[in-house]
Amino acid sequence: MEFTAAQIAGLLNGEVFGNPDVAVNALAKIEEGQPGALSFLSNPKYEAYIYTTGSSICIVNHSFEPTKALPKTLTLVKVADAYACFAKLLSIYDSMNKKEPVIEQPCFIHDTATIGENIYIGAFAYIGAHVQIGSNCQIHPNVVIQENASIGDNTTLYPAVNIYKDCHVGANCIIHAGTVIGSDGFGFAPDENGVYSKIPQIGNVVIEDDVEIGSNCSIDRATMGSTFIRKGVKIDNLCQIAHNVDVDQHTAMAAQVGIAGSAKIGKHVMIGGQSGIAGHLSIADHTKIVAQSGIPSTIEKADTLMGTPAIPINDYKRSHFGFRKLPGLINKIHELENQLKELLKNKDV
């Protein structure tokens, strides 16, 4: 599908500088632009590419003023926020690539399942008893939705997503390939001989609206009650969220984060990749956790934390600077010890 510069400016409340009738049918990074492509420039670090790009249209901020000649084939669309506007166009483009409503065969849909309107269900999907699926959903091939689970309107489940029994996924959610929602929590009790017995996990997982979960994540069902992923949470690939965790609204975590059981994560928390959070603690709203940090205890006041165990980032930087000086300090101590020995030896003489 093609869009002209004038149409793009209309969508984004922008202003055209160049040919309003030039059309694009593809998206490209500014440094990789080709004729017929749309790009954007928001970071000044990439400004050099706008003078050589092959793209036909580039979205820029109103404040952008070229310092040398632009390509004659390039038309600018000036907007208030180039990055946000390009993201809006990406969303429009993505919505156009959704699967047409169809139920592919073979797949299994239980007679008691309730399916909304305008649904795409891919081949080899399994939809169990008493499942409820809202309208405009995209259920890709090999998805499994077990009995009594529910999926809200406009939600997309990519291939091989598994939604275990009794779990609930809200509206406008995206769950990427291979993710498992509602697997058993890691609950075992040792007997007097140290042999572990499994503790049944009879709770569920509740995912609220507008959540996105990356590929190959595991979100465990609660032992009792629910594991909660609240509205607007964003989870990257390969994350593990244990039983009875509660991740509050609009929190984001990067890849390979692990959260142990019954931890309570506040609103608008940012968690860097490969961070580990111990169980049965709370993290204050708006806390920021730097990548590869370890959180062993409750964080009562919002801060930016770094290290294992994590401490305020400025304290960590000062500590790290001192740590880097340790080899030199150790050598200095050895030198002083040797000098002291010589002085004592000479004194004895």
List the catalytic residues.
243
Dihedral sign from CA coordinates of 319, 321, 326, 332: negative
Amino acid at 164: Y
Cα–Cα distance, 135 to 159 (Å, whole number): 19
Identify whether the C-beta of residue 170 lies closer than 8 Å to the C-beta of residue 152: yes
Cα–Cα distance, 205 to 149 (Å, whole number): 10
165 Cβ contact partners less than 8 Å away, ≥ 6 residues apart: 128, 146, 147, 148, 149, 182, 204
Identify whether the C-beta of residue 174 lies closer than 8 Å to the C-beta of residue 152: no
Q: In 3D, which of 113, 185, 177, 106 has the Cα closest to residue 145? A: 113
* ∠ Cα 224 225 226 (to 5°): 120
Cα–Cα distance, 110 to 48 (Å, whole number): 58
List, as one string, the DSSP characters of 287-314.
-EE-TT-EE-S-B-S--EEETTTTEEHH
Q: In 3D, which of 84, 90, 127, 92 has the Cα closest to residue 106? A: 127
Three-state DSSP class for residue 26 = strand
